[in-house]
Amino acid sequence: MGRLKLQSGIQAIGEEPGECDATYSNHATLACIINSEIGTVLAVMRRNVRWGGRYMSGDDQLEHPLIQSLKALRKQIFSWKHHMHSVNPSDYLQPFLDVIRSDETGAPITGVALSSVYNILTLDVIDQNSLNVEDAMHLLVDAITGCRFEVTDPASEEVVLMKILQVLLACMKSKASIILTNQHVCTIVNSCFRIVHQAGTKGELLQRIARHTMHELVRCIFSHLPDVHPAERALPNGSNTINGEIAGKNNEHVSGSRQLENGNMISEFDNQLLSTNPALNASSGLVESGMDEKTTGASSGKEAGQYDVQLMAEPFGVPCMVEIFTFLCSLLNVVEHIGMVPRSNTIAFDEDVPLFALGLVNCAIELGGSSIRHHPKLLSLVQDELFQNLMQFGLSTSPLILSMVCSIVLNLYHHLRTELKLQLEAFFSCVILRLVQSRYGASYQQQEVAMEAVVDFCRQKTFMVEMYANLDCDIICNNVFEELANLLSKSAFPVSLPLSSIHILALDGLIAIIQGMAERAGNGSVSAVQAPPTNLDEYTPFWLMKCDNYSDPNHWVPFVRRRKHIKRRLMIGADHFNHDPKKGLEFLQGTHLLPDKLDPESVACFFRYTAGLDKNLVGDFLGNHDEFCIQVLNKFAGTFDFQDVHLDTALRLFLETFRLPGESQKIQRVLEAFSERYYEQSPQILANKDAALLLSYSIIMLNTDQHNVQVKKKMTEEDFIRNNRHINGGDDLPREFLSELYHSICKDEIRTTPEQGAGYPEMNPSRWIDLIHKSKKSAPFIVSDTRAYLDQDMFAIMSGPTIAAISVVFDHAEHEEIYQTCIDGFLCVAKIAACYHLEDVLDDLVVSLCKFTTLLNPSSYEEPVIAFGDDPKARMSTVTVFTFANTYGDYIRTGWRNVLDCILRLHKLGLLSAFVASEAAGDSESSADTGHGKPITNSLSSVPMPPVSTPRKSSGFMGRFSQLLSLDTEEPRSQPTEEELAAHQRTLQTIQKCHIDGIFSESKFLQAESLLQLAQALIWAGGRPQKGSSSPEDEDTAVFCLELLIAVTLNNRDRIMLLWQIVYEHISNIVQSTVMPCALVEKAVFGLIRICQRLLPYKEDLADELLRSLHLVLKLDARVADAYCEQITQEVGRLVKANASHIRSPLGWRIVTSLLSITARHPEASEAGFDALFFIMSEGTHLLPANYVLCVDASRQFAESRVGEVERSVCALDLMAGSVDCLARWACDSKQSMNEEETLKMSQDIGQMWLRLVQGLREVCLDQREEVRNHALSILRRCLTGVDGIPLPHGLWLQCFDMVIFTMLDDLLEIAQGHSPKEYRNMEGTLILALKLLSKVFLELLPELSQLTTFSKLWLGVLNRMEKYMKVKVGGRKCEKLRDQVPELLKNTLLVMFLRGVLVEKSDGGDNSLWELTWLHVNKIAPSLQSEISRDPILEQSETKQGESGRVSDVTGTSIPTETAAAEGSSSGG
């Protein structure tokens, strides 16, 4: 067996203050000390006459041998010259020990001698290196434990006993203690306990010292257990019996005691030892300690062999610890000694002894710790005898005993939980859960202590995880985690009572579990192991499932999840089976828990290992005569382990699993199967299985006879023995065996109708024996670490009840400490829910907490702000709600509505800054636009304290206006008190802690789904816009929500498409439903423009979508549009200036230019609109093919507008003129960078743009203002003639003449004739300019136009206009200037046509229609013009040269510009 390894310099454990740490190496000093002690003992002895003189021995007078030995020592001590280690300690201890052992000395002398020995021991001169230290220590222990003295008075006797304890403890604490043998250590403990026992009749001081010494001894001994090396556990080779026990893993319980050799005390001592409590009398020392097999649950009636004498003589180690621990367990086994019924829940004697014994056991476990598992004998004692006693004492009515038991179990969990899986399950199921449930009759104190124990366990970080993994996920175990979680949730509910300590304890336990999960989730180590499949793919025997590696999470996590899935399915199958056995089995086949073709073993294991089955149905199935049912019955019996179990215990275990059928044939079949299995495993006494069957029948009959109230005449023991004669293969069974069976059945009924359903069963001996058997075969205990492997599964089970329980406690609590505890719990739940993406849980949490903020409740207070400041629960709830929103917003869905309700309530109370939305958007520019705002954190402190007893007015625009009007009429207001000011300040501080603006400013980090829900909640909170009036408060709310919605949109520009549709629809509803100017539509319109301003630079792909939204502005009601037109235009201008380069599509430009064009006729807005247009068109910087036509059209509208000054119209015309350069540039660029096809397409497009330009100018040429129309004509002429770089096809020029020039001339003529000169001043000059434009353009294009087939038609059109203009009357008067100018222009035109060879009379008989028609019309205009032209020197010169060369020479070409210039000069003059 293991022993302590010899080490030098072992320090004394827990030395008392009187003990000396220094080692006296100087032998002279030691000699002086010993001499002093001798003198003290002699002095006391001389007081007594008996020792003062000499006594006679024959004829000589001699000193007493005790005095002689002391004096002899005194002579020697100063003569020792060697080191003290070389001096035999027996030499200087022996004289003192002789005095102690002498029965002639009285108590005073013995006491002084004991003190001397104690003083010498505490000098630390005796250690393992001293000479003959073994003999000296053995002599010392024998002398002290065999101390004899005469009792003269009670006080002196107590002094001696205390000194004996002192010396015994000093022996164990000395450096030489490791030299002591196992035998001597047991003797020391036994002697100490005898004094403890004897002290019960003496003074309280002795009692306390004796018990303290016993505790110190146990601590001292078991503190050495970790030093015992596992390699030294084996027994010596010579001890065959004990070797066999160790090799057999100590499966048998030690039910006998060993007789240890120890010193004998005098008869007075022994007699006093037996004079106290009978319970202690039965277990007064290691000598008498023993146990009955049935009570301790041992599996064999054989008594374990005694320890080998040689083993007990070795230096102390595990053997003595086993003896001492067995003794301590025997102190707890009091039921047998005092004759109590095991099922009784009360302790019938004083709690003092059990508490003392439990304290010693606790010391041993604390000091031994996890080292106990390395020593099978100790471990077996803990697993079986100790734990069974703890289970029994756990049901004690004494709260002190229960508390100590729970402490021991907690220690055992810490150190040995891997070896105590089923024991821990039994303790919680049969003790803790029973006690906490009031329906089991436990007192309030018991319930409270049990609840404290539960909470202590919950505070162990891995306890609940390990309970879930090892028990809840084990098919044969109870759902301890689930039951504990439900227990805590229910116990925390204060149904209709004020909060009690149990409520608070249960709350602490719940929150401890949740905090553990939250810590693991916060470690960032959430398990990535996937959840189990919802369905099993194929059939696998569920009772044979094993894990490949119970220490590797990658193996055991999927394993336990799969096993839990199977367990849940089995429970569902059990429920189906209880309603219809056939359908239940079919369901299990469908889920692959039973094979498609049922086999007996699978059904038997389903019955055996599934909880919740109807035991009546199971019994009927097993008793059925069907062949398959009989096979199932045999397989069912085969699942039991009856190895070394008594017959009556085996029968109890068997019949607990189902209800024994009432029919005799069914009983016969059931007992046959049982008997065959029992005889197969435990054939020790029985001759054959028939003997087992007959005896089982006899036991059932005896059970019915003894416990059926209808049976009046009960069977006696002799009757029972007589009934069972000759059944053991023709022989009788041993009488003692039958007698034991008889008394067992009489004492404890075998219940043939077991309890149905769930509940917390009571632990009885038979169940304990079954538990010990199961524990040897159960799966290894899974040890969890700090990672969150199964937390999601566990949280899913307990989240709902936990939130409800914390909420109810929070509602009923009245102290801030409890508030804070609940808030901590809420925060942990939120953290876990966020970690596992449990949106529903987080939403429920938000809803629950919002109720406590009081912000959602209709305020019944006159001053809700002050009431809020005085309510710590409301303030804490509010901060927590917004903590959720800021921290775990990713996983909030419908809860956003509740959060926004709180925000709106704070807004209505005036507790939020007016610029929260601006801060939320992070937009300093918008703050500058809308007012002089400050950040929320600064502005909160400036919220004014509202006067007392005055209802708060609306915070909307109208509300604020009404406040200004009523300032003079209001009555004087009372000033707030200090308490109210303090409450108001607390409210402000609370709102600051909420960081409400952060919800929206940080929304860019929200997950998409949560962000969408937030936006929808904002829209919902703002209300549906309705036509007609609404209250100012509703409008203020809608505006605030819209501001926040815009802020969220701006903060999420990178994923604008997620929000855009719902935001646009909301703004659209507002715009289209509003018929009068108001703050809401203002915020909607400008918010929309702001969104476009901010997002266009970043989202070019969405530019069209964003700009299209601005079309809403065009749908504004006329009154609304008029009110905001200037501001809208300014914002659109800002948008254009900042983002012109990002607007590329015609659609986008159409919207922009439409918005700008509208402002052309608006008095306030036109300036800003034209400024934006000027920015676009000036120098062609931002003109594009996509926006050219649109911008030209907008410029035309500004040119036509009479809102601004004439200069603006002129400037607009200049912009149109300058745009021609862009057309030329684009044409040039296209030739250089495009292929032929693309160039052709571009040329066509440019031509159309040019046509739209001149068409626009044509319209302005009709303007009523003289300066504008004349400037327009000049610009038009420039645009028609300055197109050298623009490729314009001939057909386009024809269109230009028809749609622009001719139309303009006709329209001007109509205006001149149809309107008075007052309306259109100086129309004559305009007509002249128009004709010059006609002539100029015609002559410029003559070479090209003359080639067209339709030239004649075009030329006739020119002549017709000249003819009309020649005859026009302006204001009823002929226009002389015009009449002079027309012939001149016509003459120049004809000359050029002659010179160009366009107008030539053909002499060869060709077609002269053009010639003839020309002169026909010319004669109508100016009859003398033909002759003038013929005499013109230029024409003559040209004809001469033409005659010489046969063609028009190049010289004539040079004269054309001269004539044209002359024409231009005359035109200008005109």
Query: Would you name the residues annotated as active-site residues?
Result: 663
| Closest alpha carbon to 622 in 696, 672, 573 | 672
* Tokens 């769930």 belong to residue: 758
List Cα–Cα distances, 281 to 284, 288, 289, 331, 896, in angstroms: 5, 9, 10, 10, 72
Residue 672: half-sphere exposure toward Cβ, Cα within 13 Å: 13
Report the amino acid identity of residue 455. V
**Amino acid making up residue 605:** C
The pair of structure tokens assigned to 851 is 């109720």
1078 contacts 1029 by C-beta, under 8 angstroms: no
* DSSP β-bridge partners for residue 150: 106
Amino acid at 810: F
Check if the beta carbon of residue 773 is closer than 8 Å to that of residue 423: no
- Residue closest to 900 by CA, chosen among 1024, 1038, 1088, 1056: 1038
Beta strands in 1244-1370 (DSSP E): 1369-1370
CA distance linking residue 330 with residue 884, whole number of Å: 57
> Which pairs from 22-25 meet CB under 8 Å and 24+ separation?
22/124, 23/123, 23/124, 23/125, 24/84, 24/123, 24/124, 24/125, 25/83, 25/84
CA pair distance 1335, 34, nearest whole angstrom: 150
Q: How many helices (H) and strands (E) does the chain have?
A: 72, 4
Contact yes or no for 1308/1262 (Cβ under 8 A): yes
The token pair that represents 527 in the structure block = 């398990």
Q: Which amino acid is at 55?
A: Y
Nearest to 202 by CA among 118, 149, 269, 264: 269
Q: Are 6 and 178 in contact (CB under 8 A)?
A: yes
Q: Which segments within 1109-1238 are labelled E, that is strand?
A: none
User: Cα dihedral sign for 487, 490, 492, 498?
Assistant: negative
Cα–Cα distance measured from residue 1317 to residue 1371, given in angstroms and rounded to the nearest whole number: 6
Residue 630, CB-side half-sphere exposure with 13 Å CA sphere? 8
CA 1388 to chain centre: 94
User: Could you say which DSSP state residue 307 is in?
Assistant: P
Amino acid at 1346: S
CB contact at 8 A, 415 and 370: yes
**Nearby residues of 44 by Cβ (< 8 Å), 6 or more positions away:** 108, 109, 112
Q: What angle do CA 1405, 1411, 1416 make, to 5 degrees?
A: 130
Buried b (16+ CB within 10 A) or exposed e, 702-719: bbbbbbeeeeeeebeeee
Q: Which residues of 409-427 are buried (b: 16+ CB within 10 A; e: fewer)?
A: bbbbbebbbebbbbbbbbb
How far, in Å, CA of 1159 to CA of 1156, rounded?
Answer: 5
Q: C-alpha distances in angstroms, 718 versus 649, 686, 736, 738? A: 22, 20, 12, 10
Q: Distance (Å, rounded) from C-alpha 799 to C-alpha 1103?
A: 47
Angle at 1071 between CA 1066 and CA 1077, to 5 degrees: 135
Check if the beta carbon of residue 1448 is closer than 8 Å to that of residue 1387: no
